[in-house]
Amino acid sequence: MLKGKKFILGISGGIAAYKCAHLTRLLVKEGAEVQVLMTKMAKEFITPLTMATLSKRPILVEFYNPENGDWNSHVDTGLWADAMIVAPATANTMGKMANGIADNLLITTYLSAKCPVFVAPTMDLDMYTHPSTTRNMETLQSYGNILIEPGSGELASGLVGKGRMAEPEEIVEKLKAYFKKKASKKLAGKKVLVTAGPTHEKIDPVRFIGNYSSGKMGFAIAEELACRGAEVVLVTGPSSLSCNHPNIDRINVVSAADMYKACEKVFAGCEIAVMSAAVADYTPAVKADQKMKRKSETLTIELKSTVDIAKALGEKKKENQFLVGFALETNDAEQNALKKLNSKNLDLIVLNSLQDSGAGFNVDTNKITIINKQNNKKDFPLKSKVEVANDIVDEIESLME
C-alpha cells in the first residue's frame, strides 16, 4: 500500500525523535521514499547522519545550504510529498503549525504542503493536558490534519500518563489505512449533505432557545467525508468551529427553519445526507420584536413544532439516496433510536446516549452504536470524535456497496 509513496518526515525536538529511525526503516522497507526534515533541536536528539543513512537522502534542516548557498525549496518539497508526518510533534512545533509561525524549514514546508498531514504529538503529561496544547491540537484537526494520538505510559520525565509518541508500527498502520481508503475512491466526487451544531430559536432580540451542541461531531464527519474525496455541503447552526477543507462548502444557519430551507435545496442533488445537527423540536410561536420585560413571577412562552428535517428528507428520499440520522437519547436508547430509524425513513441511525460519560454534546469524544435498516447493530467503544467520524463513514461506505 505504501510502495512508491513519498513522505516528508518532519522531526521536531523531543526525546521520541529516536523512534524516527525505526519509523524511517519501516517506511523504506515498505518501498516508500522518505525525505527527512529536522528542526535544529531535533538534531540534539538524533543525528542527521543516522536519519540520512536510513532514509538514503540528505537531511534538510536549514532554508539553504550554508556551504554553497543552495536554496532548500519548502514549496517544492511540500508539493513533492504524498503525505507529511510530523513526528515527534512537540508542543512548540504544534503551536507554530497552528499559528503559522514560519521560523524553520519544517514549518514553512508544512504551510506549503498540499498533501495530508499526520501529526504524532509527544510531550510531558502536564504539557499535554495544558489548554493551549489542547487548543492547538483542535486547530490542527480543524485544518484537516490527522492526529495520531499519543499513548499512555511512563514518560521521559518519570511521570506516568498520556504523552508517549505513537509507536512507529502504529504510525505505519495509520498511513496504510489512510491510503487504502483513498484508493477505494467509493466516495470520490459523491455529493454529501452534512448537518451540524445546534439551532437557535429566537424568543426576542436578546434571547433564544438553544442546546449544548458544539458542532464537533458534524464537523468531524464533514472532514472525514471530504478527505475521502466527497463534495460536502456542511449546513451548520451557530458554532465557533472552523473548517478549511477545500471539498467542504459551509452554509451557516441559525434556526431550524433556516436549516430546513438550506437542506431542502441541497438534498435534491445529494447522494448521501448525514443529519448530525441537534435541531430544536419547538420554536416560539411568536418572536417578540422588542426585548421582553420582566412583568410577573412566571412567564409562559407558547411554542410550536419545527419541521423535522430528517423526516422531511426521508419522505423525499429517492432510491439512489442514502440518509443517515442521529439519535441522542437519555433513556430507552435503543428502542427510541429504532423508532427514529423507521419513522424518519433512515438507512442508518447513529445512537449516542448522554448516559455514557464522554459521549454527546461539546466533548471531544463520543460512544456510538450504529443500527441499520435490518436492525443489525454495531457497538463502538469511547473514541475521539475524529475516530467516530471515521467509523461512521466506513459504515456508510460499506453499506453503499
Question: Among the candidate windows 53-61, 166-174, 213-221, 222-230, which touches ligand PMT by CB under 6 A?
Answer: 213-221
24 near ligand PMT, judged by CB under 6 A:
no
**Rounded-to-integer distance, Cα 123 and Cα 120, Å:** 10
In one-letter notation, the amino acid at residue 372 is N
- Using an 8 Å Cβ cutoff, are 259 and 275 in contact? no
216 near ligand PMT, judged by CB under 6 A:
yes
Stated as kind and residue range, the H or E segment containing 378 is: strand 377-379
Give the count of alpha carbons within 13 A of 102, CB side only: 9
Residues belonging to the chain: 401
281 near ligand PMT, judged by CB under 6 A:
yes
Burial class (CB in 10 A: 0-12, 13-18, 19+), 110: buried
CB of 226 to ligand PMT, least distance (A): 17
Residue 57 burial (CB count, 10 A): 15
**Rounded-to-integer distance, Cα 124 and Cα 155, Å:** 7
241 near ligand PMT, judged by CB under 6 A:
no
CB of 156 to ligand PMT, least distance (A): 34
Q: What is the DSSP string of 204-249?
A: ETTEEE-----SHHHHHHHHHHHHTT-EEEEEE-S-S-----TTEE
In one-letter notation, the amino acid at residue 161 is G
277 near ligand PMT, judged by CB under 6 A:
yes
Which residue out of 92, 211, 336, 372 is catalytically annotated?
A: 211
CB of 306 to ligand PMT, least distance (A): 5
> Is 145 among the catalytic positions?
no
**How far out from the chain centre does Cα 183 lie?**
20
326 near ligand PMT, judged by CB under 6 A:
yes
Q: Of these, 175, 192, 309, 370, which contacts ligand PMT (CB under 6 A)?
A: 309
CB of 213 to ligand PMT, least distance (A): 4
Q: Angle, to 10 degrees, between the axis of helix 256-267 and the axis of helix 309-316?
A: 20
Q: Of these, 14, 121, 215, 314, which contacts ligand PMT (CB under 6 A)?
A: 215
310 near ligand PMT, judged by CB under 6 A:
yes
276 near ligand PMT, judged by CB under 6 A:
yes
Judged by CB under 6 A, the chain residues 359 through 378 that form the site for ligand PMT are: 360-362
**Rounded-to-integer distance, Cα 12 and Cα 89, Å:** 6
Question: Among the candidate windows 83-91, 149-157, 224-232, 301-309, which touches ligand PMT by CB under 6 A?
Answer: 301-309
Judged by CB under 6 A, the chain residues 50 through 69 that form the site for ligand PMT are: none
CB of 355 to ligand PMT, least distance (A): 13
Output the nine-digit C-alpha cell for 313: 428528507
For residue 121, give the 3-state DSSP assignment: strand
CB of 193 to ligand PMT, least distance (A): 11
| Site mask for ligand PMT (CB under 6 A), range 181-200, x = bound | --------------x-x---
| Site mask for ligand PMT (CB under 6 A), range 341-360, x = bound | -----------x-------x
Find cell 461506505 and name the residue: 397
- Residues with a known catalytic role: 211
Residues near ligand PMT (CB under 6 A): 195, 197, 213-218, 256, 275-279, 281, 306, 308-310, 325-328, 340, 352, 360-362
